Amino acid sequence: NAGVTQTPKFQVLKTGQSMTLQCAQDMNHNSMYWYRQDPGMGLRLIYYSASEGTTDKGEVPNGYNVSRLNKREFSLRLESAAPSQTSVYFCASHSEGVRTEAFFGQGTRLTVV
């Protein structure tokens, strides 16, 4: 049971380059999320998708775009990377209702130089 799979695990970009972080889940969850983790700041929500075909901004959306390709896949795109986007990125999917729980991928460590 794979759960949530993120690729790549590591990436180094030059300022201005673009890239897409991929995320897929096999738990048939409706909701998927992208967070970034920075030291001393916990995890902050970038974008989320409550269901296939919908996406919404989170706390820190600037500089990012997302695509909910289908129920399984939710990608995060950096169109023009900046050093401030150096971070660890986590994708998560959620079960719903009172049994709600987030399942996280292993993370993508991104460095922008």
Partner 1 sequence: AQSVTQLGSHVSVSEGALVLLRCNYSSSVPPYLFWYVQYPNQGLQLLLKYTTGATLVKGINGFEAEFKKSETSFHLTKPSAHMSDAAEYFCAVSARNQGGKLIFGQGTELSVKP
By CB under 8 A, name the one of 13, 21, 23, 43 that touches partner 1: 43
Q: Which residues pair with 72 in a beta bridge?
A: none
Residue numbers 64-93 binding partner 1 by CB under 8 A: 90, 92
Stretch that binds partner 1, among 17-25, 29-37, 65-73, 75-83 (CB under 8 A): 29-37
Buried b (16+ CB within 10 A) or exposed e, 9-47: eebebeeeeeeebbbbbeeebebbbbbbeeeeeebebbb
Q: Is residue 101 within 8 Å of 94, Cβ to Cβ?
A: yes
Instruction: Give the 3-state secondary structure of residue 57.
Output: strand
Considering only 4, 21, 23, 112, the residue that binds partner 1 (CB under 8 A) is: 4
Q: Contact with partner 1 (CB under 8 A): which of 19, 22, 50, 71? A: 50
Determine the size of the site formed for partner 1 (CB under 8 A).
27
| Residue 104 sits in the site that holds partner 1 (CB under 8 A) | yes
